Structure 1
Amino acid sequence: MKDITLRAIDMFESIDVLLCEDTRKTGILLKELKIANTPKLLSFYDEVERQKIPQIVEMLKEGLEVGLVTDAGTPLLSDPGWLLVRKCQELGLKYTALPGASATINALVLAGLPMGRFSYLGFLPKKDGERKKILEKYKEVEGSKVVYESPLRTEKLVKEVKEIYGDKVEIRIIREMTKKFEEIKNDWDGDIRGEVVVVFA
């Protein structure tokens, strides 16, 4: 919560409707931030994004100010929102994005690996064949790669990266980023819990 920006707080205070993945979590956030003029919260997650867009477009056409937040991370980056942005582009509706904390950039900085160029791979498929196919494809791409992963699948991912990229690959496993138990590991050690970002080059 301490990573919130002043512009984000201003946005919460001034908008009419706030789209959020989980209205309960966002409600708690607004309460903790002591937002005086609480906007109407509207549930907006991957599974309902497409069907909610017409309703949101009508709100925007009526002149309502609409904001979008996600439970963790940046909207559109492995989170809902890209279909809505595309619809706004198609209809010529004005929109903007507020800068803020980004797990991808933060992980790259913490990893201490080359970041002149990098590739964001997001959450890889759960199926072995599909995941390995993507890892193979990015082997030819210069720069660090960033993957969001479940702690339950991190060991398998690290093994696959070593198998595909060879002995010279450098790996960083970053867990619980920006939280009390933040930790950066250079390899799998059998004990990874919490939210995980894996960076390798």
Structure 2
Amino acid sequence: MRVEQFSWDIGVIALAATPIGNLADATPRLVSAFEQADLIAAEDTRRTGLLRERLGVTRRAPLVSCHEHNETAKAEQIVSCAAEGQRVLLVTDAGMPTVSDPGYVIVQAAIKRGIPLTVLPGPSAPLLALALSGMPTDRFCFEGFLPRKQAALMRRLEVLSSEERTMVFLESPRRLASSLSALAQVFGVDRPAAVCRELTKVHEEVWRGTLSELKDKAKDVRGEIVLVVAGASPQTPLNEEEAVKLVLSRVEKGQRLKDAAKAVAAQSGVSAKALYNRVLAERK
């Protein structure tokens, strides 16, 4: 297979993946794009400048800051530069732009104005974690970061409790233990999962087990975290009696009755209120 230099027409915005931990994962096409760019839109200009130096890039195209707090304001400027014929390179601190990182607003603005886009593939933490997790990869969904507030977190998990695809989440090491506890409460303690930490870095590791096992291990963890959770088992329609038994089973495993009733209601179509009241009556 022949290695070709990145060929880049004027007036095109290129989205490029950058290493997520190991500098050796930078592709020759990324280096070539840095050399050819007329303008570089970067999540953190200092980090991108340092990356450029470490890769031995000799050309120093101007860097413009583009992060979650200013992307909307900067999008018009960046897209206009491409419209004027400049080669614009869009990068984030690590991984692929737009995937839980800045870039989506710029892509939308470019599409609206008819500016050509291209992409330079490379590292992406969600896909690496999925591959390492041991979970099914034929169907999966990326859910990004879970909500920080408890009420919003529980609502999100209740919606996802019957999701049959493998789910991939990003998580802060400080919130990992509490998020795993919430997942175990809503999904059930026996749901398989994997915690992928510091991918491509020196201390890379993957913990595999049930949600219950992982939450007990997740105290004082450090580094970048990707959490992969197995999807729910395919369910056949349940009548009310079967739904009540399933609620009782979830409660016996430690899930709150209210949460169990909502999760089973979403799966069975039986009213959550009816399930709640039936279980209360049976426990008296």
TM-score class normalised by the smaller sequence = over 0.9
TM-score by length of 1: 0.96
The two structures, once aligned, show a CA RMSD in angstroms of: 1.1
Q: Does 1:39 align with 2:61?
A: yes
- State the partner residue of 1:164: 186
Counterpart selection for 2:164 from 134, 142, 159: 142
Tell me which residue corresponds to 1:5. Answer: 27
In structure 1, distance between residues paired with 2:126 and 2:173: 17
Measure, in 2, the Cα distance between the counterparts of 1:135 and 1:77.
21
Q: Does 1:92 align with 2:135?
A: no
Residue 56 (structure 1) aligns with: 78
Moved over 4 A (4+): none
Aligned partner letter, 1:104: P
Q: Which runs of 5+ in 1 are unaligned?
A: none
Q: Alpha-carbon deviation of 1:98?
A: 1.2
**CA deviation string 1:107-159 (max 9, x = no partner):** 00111111111111101111011112112212222121111111110001111
After TM superposition, the structure 1 = structure 2 runs for residues 1-201 of structure 1, keeping only pairs within 5 Å, are: 1-186=23-208, 187-188=214-215, 189=217, 190-201=219-230
For 2:52 and 2:125, locate their aligned partners in 1 and report how far apart those are by CA, in whole Å.
Answer: 21
TM-score for the superposition, normalised by structure 2: 0.69
Aligned length: 201
> What residue ranges of structure 2 are gaps of 5+ in the alignment?
1-22, 209-213, 231-284
**1:97 positional shift:** 1.2
AA at the equivalent of 2:57: I
- Deviation of 1:168 (Å): 2.9
| SS of the residue 1:72 aligns to | coil
1:164 counterpart letter in structure 2: V
Secondary structure of the equivalent of 1:179? coil
2: CA distance, partners of 1:7 / 1:106: 20
Structure 1 residue aligned with 2:5: none
- Conservation of the 8 A alpha-carbon contact between 2:174 and 2:220: no
Provide the C-alpha distance between the structure 1 equivalents of 2:37 and 2:182, rounded to a whole number of angstroms. Answer: 45
